[in-house]
Amino acid sequence: MDFKHIDELRNKLKSLRPLNEAELERLREEFMIENTYNSNAIEGNSLTLRETALILQQGVTIEGKHVREHLEVIGHKDAFYYMIELADTKTPLTERVIKELHSLVLMNDAKNKGIYRSVEVAIVGAVHTLTPPYLIHEQMEALLNEYKNMKQDRHVIEAVTEFHLRFEGIHPFIDGNGRTGRLKNGEG
């Protein structure tokens, strides 16, 4: 695949920098709100984009919506900003980092947050079997090691996409894999 156009757009964006701190924060907040809304909506959260923004910007609760949905929004926001911090400090992606992101995403599930699953799971309609629990740690370790090479040998978009597909195939957590996977791909 040719990533030349994407690289040209990235270079054009870089030429517009530096943005002042207020501009950067406004753009980051807008992206965080939309990313939080979209990632949670994929998982069945019924909050609208406007409701998500109200929760995140004004700290309000939305009448008639489950507490779980509010916590999914808040947890995703916390994980998003943690991922930004990791990217800014060029912290490498490790199992510990992935588990910490998952802990933030799944803040409403104290029993399962940041812990690899210990039971078999299946995704309805999936065409392949997910990794059995006893192989999760081993496969995650192998994936992270291979990811280091992927980032050197491939375009970053191709490496991140491959990592994400394989992460979702391992499906290391009982819940929150999609949200965690979509966040961790901000790592560069």
The sign one gets for the Cα dihedral 70, 33, 42, 177 is negative
Q: Is 83 left (phi over 0), alpha (psi -120 to 50) or beta?
A: alpha
The sign one gets for the Cα dihedral 182, 14, 158, 136 is negative
Distance of alpha carbon 81 from alpha carbon 60, whole angstroms: 20
Residue type, 109: D
Distance of alpha carbon 101 from alpha carbon 133, whole angstroms: 20
Q: Is 128 a catalytic residue?
A: no
The tokens for 173 are 């957590």
Q: Which residues are catalytic?
A: 171
